[in-house]
A and B are shown apart, each in its own frame.
Chain A
Amino acid sequence: MRRDVRRVALALVAGGAMAGAARLLLRPTVQLKVGGLMRPGQEPSIPLGKPPTSPWTWLEIGPDDRVHFYSPKPELGQGAQTGLAQLLAEELQIDLDCLVVHQPDTARGFDPKLLAALGGTSVNSLSRPLREAGARLREALRAEAAARLGCEPGEIVAEHGRCFVRDDPHRSLSYGEIVAGKRGAWTMPVDPPALKEPDRYRLVGHSAPRLDLPDKVTGRAVFGFDVRLPGMIYGAVARPPHEGARLRRVGSVAAAERQPGVVKVVAGRGFAGVVAERRSQAYAALAHLDLEWVGGTTAGQAEIEARVVAPERGGAVVERAGDAAGHLGQGRQLRAGYRSAMFAALPFEPPVAVADVRPDGVTIHVPGQEPAMVRAAVARALGRRKRNVRVIAPYAGGSFGRKHGHLREAAPEAARLSAAVGRPVHVGWSMAEELAHGPVRPPSHHLLFGSLDPTGRARALEHRFASAQNLQAYPPLSLLPKLTGVDAIGLLGAYLTYGAVPHRRTLFRHAPIPVLTSTYRAPGLHPNAFAVESFVDELAHLAGADPLSFRLAHLGSDDVGRRLRLVLEAVSGRAGWWEPAPPGHARGVACCAYGDLVAAEVAEVSVEGGSIRVHRMTCAVDMGFAVNPDAARAQVEGGIAMGLSWALHEEIRIEGGTRSETGLDDYPILTLDEMPMVDTVLLDDGPRLSGPSEVPIGPVAAAVANAVFALTGQRLRKLPLRPPEWAEG
């Protein structure tokens, strides 16, 4: 009772504060500030967490010389754990083959925010603290070895997991022996020892084989969906008949309870699920539940498109230079509209969780990017304290912004079911459930305006766009776009990165739709860069200029401009831009910035039987120093494949409140046969915080659309690209 009164009181206060805050937050200065959080030329504003002070949080050394690395970051397929292992092994002076990697575990003692894998930051954001931990421990081991071997620490060499006396190498101790024989507390160096200079790297900067792949090629690797606990049974959850419908009432459960194998039917506020001995039995029993759903939407595509319309007037200004409004009406003018569809992030391993809820504590195994968020969501669902909920994050079969522990997630579902039956419960969504009920990528609509002076130089550029928001599945963060009018995270790629155009402005309107929208890989980057880079191409055409030269001529002299110039020049050389394309082929170029990373791509395409065929993608990425170059290349290849799949195929449509696409038969994704040759140039223009996994997605769609234009003279202004789709976006 007291809790309810407190809740109401807090809500009233919060409501009043919010109303006042809303007035403040909607001010243009705030919008510009929020709008600048993801702007090019700086590290993306992603909260990263506080590293541990003790090296022993990161690792343990066994008497068998095995080094147990407790990774705070999950492995999603991006190679993060191997990159982190390289950084640790480099300073600790061990070889990678003695490492055992342990999966993220909220019980390990890391700051929970440290466990998040966001925006490609997992490896580089931990580089310094992890290396310092390794270096500290190495020095402590040397000091201990010196004491045991009866010499000065300066006489000890630490290398390949052993400490030996420089002038008498037979006098040595392995790290395992040192740790096993240690009496009393360790004295860690107060200041971190100097870290290695790049010219001394043995592991960092080399393409070390990924530590998780041997188990992944033998089938031994345990992904979230593979976790099996003693006594585990299976749960299935009743899903709404159309988007957004809520469960008002559960009638009799007797019929469902009588079904074969059913252990229990769990019905609570807005939730109904079945737990059974076999997976199929849990799903089959759902049909026998008497459920009353209310609300939700019966919207169709027409309504979605009517709501997502770029503002001809107004909108939040998120980027401003000069006076675009005052200069757009001059010279030769161009206006064009572009539209992007909803689609699914669709990791092939669907959302899944195995929950073991007991009176004295909860353990839940959930693959995904935000173990701490999962913990909070599960604690809320169960009415328990977060400290009594332990989350372990096994390998994920992809995540791509989908597995984050908030709404429409398996973790709270599995937790509720396990709590009701007192046994471990596995809830693994099917891909059909994911396509029907998972959050979708926010659709967007873009209007771009430009004006050219008599010499064909662009003098003014304006980008007005509307999009549903990316944080809707992350309450209470979902309030931010409503309060500020800006979906900060969705602005990637929307900025006009042509600093030599004196008058530029980008405006955003938040356009909510009655479908749950959420993050996906590189939020905003794909549709925003498509619109901007298609329009720049259209301007170039109006100016009678080569699209690559036109871009180069309009880059600014700031850092972003300089690096975009580097990648555009690199990609043009590698792709043979200045040589004729093969007969029946044409090329298109596009570039983008993602925080402090930049990429430029050239697509070489043909159109065969009404379909676009992409033969080659050449990509130049400036990602800074690559801890593992081969893993970085794999990420570029993967980003291009995903960007291409989105550009050519992926669309979720809705009619009568239900989605039209139900499976990979009507939701096609890119196939091996459709994959172009990929030629990657990795540029290292200095240390950066983010990895390359997301920036290569940006230029793909526009590079392809621009190539189609060069080949056919037809402009494609809708995503996915479907010739003939010549309509104005």
Chain B
Amino acid sequence: MRLTINEQTYDTAEEAAAEALLWVLRDDLGMTGTKPGCGVGVCGVCTVLVDGQPTRSCQTLAREVAGREIRTVEGLAGFDADGREALHPVQRAFLELQVPQCGWCTPGQLVTAAAFLDEHPNPSDAEIVAAMDGVLCRCGSYPRVVPAVRRAAVLQAEAGRAS
């Protein structure tokens, strides 16, 4: 089975097709950025993007997303003109505001925020809360999430103007 993840293609074992995408990413492909959470699709920690849409990877079989564009936290950053890694605005904002505590839910938060800002580049706080409410955080990083997504929107707009 062939999966397209972060613009690269990967061939996986037969058995992987019937497994949850989360575990294929982590165990088969060694992409451990995406984390396991509740296992029942509630917490959003395992979120990845499938064709740009936030998707619970623990509830998605790998074969369901063969042929689709999968993006994980490892694929959020881009590259600048010199080929150096350039963090995504949400990553930069999360660092600026020091959002993560333990960091386990951070990948889920980041890809969710990235997809949201793609669709809503100029969001209200209420819209941010509604979008991010689906990712739970045990450590309580919540107070910093909305300001960070707001900041990411600004950084994204600046980057857009610069390019």
Contact = CB atoms under 8 A, between A and B. Distances in A.
A416 to B, nearest CB: 21
A675 B100 contact: no
A431 B37 contact: yes
Given A348-B45, A663-B39, A223 B104 contact: yes
A348 B105 contact: yes
A230 to B, nearest CB: 12
B98 A209 contact: yes
B5 interface: no
A218 B102 contact: no
A78 B101 contact: yes
A634 B101 contact: yes
A212 B39 CA distance: 26
A678 interface: yes
B39 A210 contact: no
B100 to A, nearest CB: 5
A347 B102 contact: yes
Contact of B102 (A77, A639, A670, A672): A77
Nearest to B104: A397
B103 A77 contact: yes
A226 B74 CA distance: 14
A677 B144 CA distance: 10
Counting chain A CB atoms within 10 Å of each CB, which of B19, B77, B139 scores highest? B139
A22 B25 CA distance: 55
Interface in B129-163: 129-130, 132-133, 135-146
A397 B100 CA distance: 11
A398 B145 contact: no
B142 A672 contact: yes
A665 B40 contact: yes
Contacts of A220: 33, 74
Contact of B32 (A207, A222, A278): A222
Interface residues of A, number: 63
A670 B137 CA distance: 8
B15 interface: yes
A10 B38 CA distance: 45
Contacts of A665: 38, 40, 42
A206 interface: no
A221 B106 CA distance: 11
Contact of B100 (A76, A217, A350, A673): A217
A639 B45 CA distance: 20
Interface string A387-422: 000000001111010000000000000000000000
B95 A214 contact: yes
Interface residues of B, number: 55
A207 B96 CA distance: 12
B1 interface: no
Contact of B19 (A280, A400, A642, A678): A280
A542 interface: no
A397 B40 CA distance: 19
Contact of B104 (A217, A279, A398, A428): A398
A218 B103 contact: no
Contacts of B145: 672
A555 interface: no
Counting chain A CB atoms within 10 Å of each CB, which of B101, B106, B136 scores highest? B101
B42 A663 contact: yes
Interface string B53-69: 00000000000000000
A306 B133 CA distance: 39
Contacts of B129: 672-673
B20 to A, nearest CB: 8
B43 interface: yes
Contacts of B135: 672
B83 interface: no
Nearest to A222: B32
Contacts of B133: 671-673
A213 to B, nearest CB: 6
B136 A225 contact: no
A347 B101 CA distance: 12
Contacts of A671: 133, 136
B139 A77 contact: yes
Given A210-B98, A675-B142, A218 B38 contact: no
Contacts of B107: 219
Nearest to A617: B143
B117 to A, nearest CB: 15
Contacts of A214: 95
A260 B13 CA distance: 14
A664 interface: yes
Nearest to B40: A663
A260 B32 CA distance: 25
Contacts of B102: 76-77, 347-349, 395-398
A347 B130 CA distance: 24
Contacts of A672: 129, 132-133, 135, 137, 142, 145-146
A432 interface: yes
B44 to A, nearest CB: 10
A128 interface: no
Nearest to B30: A228
A43 interface: no
A139 to B, nearest CB: 33
Contact of A348 (B37, B72, B73, B76): B37
27 contacts: A77-B100, A207-B98, A213-B103, A217-B95, A217-B103, A218-B76, A218-B87, A218-B91, A219-B73, A223-B32, A261-B15, A346-B138, A348-B35, A398-B101, A428-B36, A430-B39, A634-B101, A638-B101, A642-B138, A642-B140, A663-B38, A663-B39, A664-B37, A664-B40, A665-B38, A672-B135, A677-B143
Given A77-B100, A670-B140, A671-B136, 4 more contacts: A209-B98, A225-B32, A348-B104, A663-B40
Interface of B: 15, 19, 23, 26-27, 30-40, 42-43, 45, 72-74, 76-77, 85, 87, 91, 94-95, 98, 100-107, 110, 129-130, 132-133, 135-146
